[in-house]
Amino acid sequence: MPENKEVAEAAIVSEYKRTERLMGNRFELTVVAADEQWANEKIDLAIAEIKRIERLLTTFNENSQTNQVNQQAGISAVRVDREVYDLIERSIRISNLTDGAFDISYGSIDKRFWNFDKTMTALPDQATARSMVSLINYRNIILDEKNCTVMLKEKGMRIGFGGIGKGYAAEMARALLKKEGVESGIVNASGDLTTWGLQANKKPWTIGIANPDNAHLPFSYMNVTDMAVATSGNYEKFVTINGKKYSHTINPKTGYPVTGIKSVTVISPNAEIADAMATPVTIMGVKAGINLINQVHHMGCIIIDDHNKIYCSKNIHLQ
């Protein structure tokens, strides 16, 4: 037996990658292993797990639990899986922490006003913008833990997991891979990623922090392991009106797009939390956003404003 162990330890370790479109995003899964077939079997399991989560959370399938909750808004409570219930409960906790800057009931925003394509040439007036966000209120998501039900208080309310779902799926895929014996890897959900272990060369994973003016050219790098990184930026989806750039991120209090910040990168041990915190920091602004992050244990952030000035929370040291 010891001889076999020595042979196994001497086996050459490589990184095996797979890219797939899941949850409407580009997921790249990387597994460090000595055996390609074994690595691919584990990646298959992780992809199946992400697809399972997508079926629960999607709003593009009428039969998903999310849509069942939305269809019964203002009418009745809907029984959901404990997993969905717990994710909604955690989402509400983050809404409380961020004073509503994060809110899964954003789904009621009328997409006709915010399509962020070339046809959008003006902002809606204040009254229209306010009426559009009037149904966004996490306090109107009523949970019943005993019966595992969710009720949206107002008719027309809708929940969606666009701000937390990718991170949750990445976190669940990482947990599954670790349970299956994958000692090192990355799950990258369109830039929201989670890492564990070390690269094949025994060095920490190196993460590029996206340059908002050129997403393909990172402006800085960080060495990470057992950490998650999520970025929210206006460089992927925005509209320019009268020479001013407006992000696709809507402030739920005003109904208007966020301005002033090009990108926010959040670093946390947990991908779900990193994903969920990136957008509210963008909405809260530099000072309030960094102040909040500085109060949360084991969390850091990097903010780039519209003038390319870089702000970091107290525990971030860029290379």
pLDDT in tens, 35-61: 999 999 999 999 999 999 999 999 999
Is 146 contained in some domain?
A: yes
Averaged pLDDT, 142-167? 96
State the pTM of this model: 0.90
CA–CA dist 291, 288 (Å, integer): 5
Check whether 76 has a pLDDT greater than 80.
yes
The count of domains in the chain is 1
Query: CATH number, domain at 138?
Result: 1.10.3980.10
Structural domain includes residue 235: no
Residues facing 264 on adjacent strands: 232, 303
Tell me: pLDDT of 8 over 60: no
Residue 101 pLDDT exceeds 70: yes
**145 within a domain of the structure (yes/no):** yes
Alpha helices in the chain (DSSP H): 2-10, 36-57, 65-71, 82-97, 126-132, 165-179, 271-284, 286-295
Does the residue 263 lie in any domain? no
CB within 8 A of 190, min separation 6: which ones? 25, 26, 27, 166
- Express the helix, strand and coil content of the chain in percent, nearest 5 each: 35, 25, 40
The answer to whether residue 129 is domain-embedded is yes
Query: What is the sign, positive or negative, of the torsion defined by CA atoms of 114, 115, 116, 120?
Result: negative
* Residue 173 included in any domain: no
pLDDT of residue 16: 98
> By the 8 A CB rule, do 293 and 301 touch?
yes
Q: Is residue 126 part of a domain?
A: yes
pLDDT per residue over 184-241, tens digit each? Answer: 999 999 889 999 999 999 999 988 877 777 666 777 778 888 999 999 887 666 777 7
Q: Is residue 82 part of a domain?
A: yes
* Domain span including residue 80: 65-152
Structure tokens at 111: 């997409």
Bridge partners (DSSP) of residue 25 are 22
